[in-house]
Amino acid sequence: QVRLEESGGGLVQAGGSLRLSCAASGSIFSIHTMGWFRQAPGKQRELVATITSGGTANYADSVKGRSTISRDNAKNTVYLESNNLKPEDTAVYYCNANGKLTTWGPRGRTDFGSWGQGTQVTVSS
């Protein structure tokens, strides 16, 4: 019921920059947290950064100082701007969002948690 559409991945040289975008659509009442995770070949999916509707951001140590997460609540969109990219940043980047749907359940509005399909980021050395 909630679709996340990512864009902005691609191939970039080490030291370069990239901006990822993720737009949520569907039966959304509110989104509490949006974020980015990544998964490199042979590794587990890991947190990159998250941001709440109030603007509180959280970053993985590996990207602190190099990445900035932001969101446009009116557009249900989250962004990740990364600078000084390194080969070890190469991974599939997934958008994540959780919040409330417009539908009602026995305990109030229905919760949702959704993932995007992923976008490849490749950093060449």
pLDDT tens figures, 2-60: 999 999 999 999 999 999 999 999 999 999 999 999 999 999 999 999 999 999 999 99
- 3-state DSSP helix/strand/coil % of the chain, to nearest 5: 5, 65, 30
**Residues, the chain, total?**
125
Q: Which of 69, 45, 71 is nearest to 59 (CA)?
A: 69
